[in-house]
Every structure is written in C-alpha cells, then in structure tokens.
Structure 1
C-alpha cells in the first residue's frame, strides 16, 4: 500500500509514518513548505493523508491570516491536485474545534458547526470546500476530527499537569467537575490503518477519540498513578480562580482564561460512528492506558 503523508515531521506525522511503515506500507513524505511541492506529489497512490497545518495558538499571538493560508488554502490546493490524480483516498485531518469550541453533552459528527476561533474557522472552511466538490466514483474522502492528541514525546497541557504532580504540588482546580475526551497516538494510528484496510468505508466526517472520558481530577489521579504518587486535590473557590485567570490575561501569567478553560471545561467526543463503520467494539488502548504511557515518557525525558 502506497501512502503519501503531509506534515510528516510533526508529532502525529512522525508516529503515523513509522506505524504504517511497520505495517508494510510504503510512505512518501510530502513537504508543503516547498513552493514546488506539486511537482513532488506522486500522481498515483492508495491514499494521501493531509496532516500539515497551523495548530491552535492558545496565546493568541498568531496572525489570523496564517490560519487561512495554511489550514484552508493549502488544503484546497492539495485537494484539487488529488481530484486530478489517480490517488484513491484523501484523508484530511481537521479538528473537533472545527465543529465547536465548547460542547454541551456529547459531540457527534451531526453537530452544526459553529467554531469561534480562526483556527476552527479555517478548518471548517477547508472541510466545506472538500465536501462541496464533485467526487469521482472511484475516489473516497475522509475528514478526521480528532480531539486532544497525546503520546510519548508530545508536550502541551499534559506536560504542564505532569510537572505540577512531579513537583509534589497540589492540584488547585479540584472544585471544577468536568469530563473530557482524549486521543492517544496508538489509537489514532490504529484507526487510520483500519480505515486504509476497509475497502467499503463510506466517505464522510469521522470523530477520533479514545473510548470513555475522564475528568481533570481523574487525569490528575492517573498522572499520580503513573508516577506512583498520592493525588493532592485542593478545592479552591471557582470565582477566586477565575479572577486570578483574568489577571493572568493582563499580566501574561501561566494561568490565564484560555488555559483555565482548557483545564476545566467539559468536552466529550463520541467515537461511535468510526467504530461502527469499522465494525469494532473498542479501541486497543483505554484512555487511562494511553495517558499512563504518555506520562511515563515524560519521566524518561527528565
């Protein structure tokens, strides 16, 4: 099986490339940073997996135009090349944030998209273009909406939480009760490989998430479990913490409104559609197993 991957130098691309090659696939890494990338795009392959994009900037200092140039315009150009090639399948890695920045209940693929950030808007505009085009009968297109991806070697909010626990500091946000979905890189790799193998998989939008959801308090407990520590959970007034976060916006402190929201809001994502389509009951790794693997990798990097 011949696979083309964009964004292969990133965390997901690097892991997925290695995984697929270990499964016997031939992987061609395509860099869209080269102005002449079209001349390097093979005209024939089993699939192209488009991972390259501009990630969400939680510090809100990025130029908004960059999101649209990279996430929308480059995707449009690549998809047009796909339509005019002999490549059979197109995988576009979008994001759950293309559908919604906040979720009430559980997010499914039927949600009416209403992104609030330039990141989410640029992703949904790319999706809308892809879905608006006439797709030849022999081709398939899959729009993947992953939730927060993690795994060994990946930094972010998980690394922040790890440092708090590793230093023996108490978790001060225990007063917030939420539920969040995560996506371990091993489950992501598994799902993509199964989609590549499935010959009659319908085109469409598919959410990616681990089975089940965890609260941030449960996440803290899981990190402690991985580090063989006892969890320290503090119930501090929500209003006090929210005022502190607002102050953090002005003083550029580590705790700001955006980070507080990410750490305490609920965001549950359903993965039932992709599991039903692939005929699987559960993913290889539970949310807790994947998180423990990620956290233990932080220990090794110390």
Structure 2
C-alpha cells in the first residue's frame, strides 16, 4: 500500500515507519526534510500546496502542536497547526484518489476531565484550553466535509508512550528513579494509557480491514493507578517502593498554600495528578472484531520504562 504520513519524524511517525516500512511504500510530509529509512521521500507542506505529492492509497495525519503543560505557547499556534494543517491535508485527501484517512485527534478534544466513570465516544465534546479546542475544530471540519465512498477515521488516543517517548511519563520516571517518595499514595486514581505497540496494531487494522468510518477512542485494555505505575518504575530500577499515604486533607491544604504563593504544588496540578481518566476502547475493538489488544497496559509501560533506563 502507498501511504502518506504527516509529522513522520515524530514519535508516533517514526514507530509507524518501523512497523509499516518493509511491506508498504511510505511517503512523508514534515517540516523536517531529513531522509528516513524505508521512506521513499519526505515532502514539505509547500510541496503539498504545489501538488507535488504522488497519489497514495491512505493518509495518516499525525502532524500537530502537542499539549504544552507549561502554557508558554499562544492559543493561535494551536489553531494554526492542529486545525489549519488538518484542513489542508484533508482537502488534499478529498481531491486525491486515496481511499483512507486517519486523523490523530486526542481524548482532550472530548473532555479535559471524565464526567462519570468512563469516557466513551458518545460524550458531547467539551474541551478546555486551546489544545483540545483546536483538535475539536479539526474534527468538526472533517465531519462537516464528508468523504463519500471513502473511509475516514478520527482517533482520540489517550497518553501514548513507548521507547523514544520523552513526555510526562519520563518526568515522573525521573523523580521516582532517584528514590524520592511519592506523597499522594492515598489517592487511588486510575488512568488509561496507550502503548505504542497497541496503537500500531490498531493502525494496521484500519489500513487492512474494512472498518466503518467514525470517531474512535484509543487506549490500552486496562487502566492503571499512579501507584501501580510507580511500582513498575521501582521494579525496573530495583528500587524500594516509597509510596507515602499522607492524608488527603493535608495534601489538598498544602496545594491551597501553593495557590497563594504560586508554588509548583498547587490545586490545579494536584487535581491533574490524582484525577481519574479512564477511556473506553470497546468501540475500536468491536470495529476490528477483536476481544483484546495484544499488549497489556502494565507490559507496555514496563517496556517504556526499560527503554528509559537503556538510554541513560
């Protein structure tokens, strides 16, 4: 299959090249033009505008502005990249002979926090902040311009991790590997993650099977607590588990002090650390006609943490 991947140099793009490169003819669109093994050619966004990209059978749109937890990026950047580039590549897809379009949105396009026990695709989207808002605008553009007789998939993955990933999971890993105690053990929150291996399995299924168009959440089968994640990190490093179950009231009180004095530990941050965010992946499993994904959540996280250790 001839496949065009935008943002091909990124974490997910690089892993897709490794997984799909041997049996498919891959092309890329990126702001980085460096050659990649198993990629025929990498084009610029100007090349797309000029009509220089050859016909392909499928488009995987990964390019985007990631969520900036430090809040240093202006809102306009998110809409220019996440919404604007999606419009450009989707318009190109509509006019091309390509039959499949896979857009990487985010669960943050649906909800900043999960109302209830489980996030499903039926939720009425209510994003908070420019990242989620720019992603939902991109989704709306696609839905308002239907691709008749083609297949279009909007994926909403939760946090993606794997070897080579240097996101928020790596920050937690850096703290725990030093033996610093985790003080929020009294909060048994649970969160969904997406192992890169499971993500690639899903992408391969969408490319090779006749799956109905639609919006699909993407995540591992099991949700894990932060305490379980810390135990995995400690197991990889052989560290003694140091989880402190300090009273919840005490920690929330300290967070309020942090609000007053603008400290790193504040109410917003502690709520993010201890909230539940469980995502249902049942719809995508039903669409692919499978009962479970190949990699368990704990196994995938173990591989990721082990890769951090090897890179040190």
Instruction: Give the TM-score taking structure 2 as reference length.
Output: 0.90
Q: Aligned pair in 2 of structure 1 residues 269, 41: CA closer, same or farther (>3 Å)?
A: farther
Cα separation, 2, equivalents of 1:250 and 1:10: 38
Please report how far the alpha carbon of residue 12 of structure 1 lies from its aligned counterpart in structure 2 after TM superposition: 0.8
Cα separation, 1, equivalents of 2:164 and 2:263: 25
- 1:140-182 per-position Cα deviation (integer Å, ceiling 9, x unaligned): 1000100001111212222122122211221111121211000
Please report how far the alpha carbon of residue 25 of structure 1 lies from its aligned counterpart in structure 2 after TM superposition: 1.2
Cα separation, 2, equivalents of 1:233 and 1:177: 12
Please report how far the alpha carbon of residue 289 of structure 1 lies from its aligned counterpart in structure 2 after TM superposition: 0.2
Contact 2:4/2:28, CA 8 A, preserved across alignment:
yes
Cα separation, 2, equivalents of 1:72 and 1:247: 38
Q: Tell me the number of residue pairs that the alignment of Structure 1 and Structure 2 aligns.
A: 299
Please report how far the alpha carbon of residue 235 of structure 1 lies from its aligned counterpart in structure 2 after TM superposition: 1.4
What RMSD over aligned residues (CA atoms) do the two structures have, in Å? Answer: 1.9
**Structure 1 residue 236 corresponds to structure 2 residue 246:** yes
1:271 aligned residue (256, 277, 281) = 281
In the alignment, structure 1 segments of 5+ residues that lack a partner are none
In the alignment, structure 2 segments of 5+ residues that lack a partner are 33-43
Contact 1:30/1:41, CA 8 A, preserved across alignment:
no
Q: Aligned pair in 2 of structure 1 residues 41, 290: CA closer, same or farther (>3 Å)?
A: farther
SS in 2 for 1:27: strand
Contact 1:249/1:257, CA 8 A, preserved across alignment:
yes
Please report how far the alpha carbon of residue 7 of structure 1 lies from its aligned counterpart in structure 2 after TM superposition: 0.6
SS in 2 for 1:269: coil
RCO higher in structure (CA 8 A, sep ≥6): 1
Cα separation, 2, equivalents of 1:259 and 1:185: 26
Please report how far the alpha carbon of residue 270 of structure 1 lies from its aligned counterpart in structure 2 after TM superposition: 0.6
Please report how far the alpha carbon of residue 255 of structure 1 lies from its aligned counterpart in structure 2 after TM superposition: 3.8
Q: Which position in structure 2 is the counterpart of 1:54?
A: 65
Q: Which position in structure 2 is the counterpart of 1:121?
A: 133
Q: Which position in structure 1 is the counterpart of 2:27?
A: 28
Q: Aligned pair in 2 of structure 1 residues 249, 187: CA closer, same or farther (>3 Å)?
A: farther
**Structure 1 residue 226 corresponds to structure 2 residue 236:** yes
Cα separation, 2, equivalents of 1:238 and 1:95: 30
Contact 1:4/1:47, CA 8 A, preserved across alignment:
yes
SS in 1 for 2:98: coil
SS in 2 for 1:168: coil
Q: 1:145-294 residue pairs with structure 2 within 5 A?
A: 145-198=156-209, 200-245=210-255, 254-294=264-304
Please report how far the alpha carbon of residue 132 of structure 1 lies from its aligned counterpart in structure 2 after TM superposition: 1.0
Contact 1:43/1:87, CA 8 A, preserved across alignment:
no
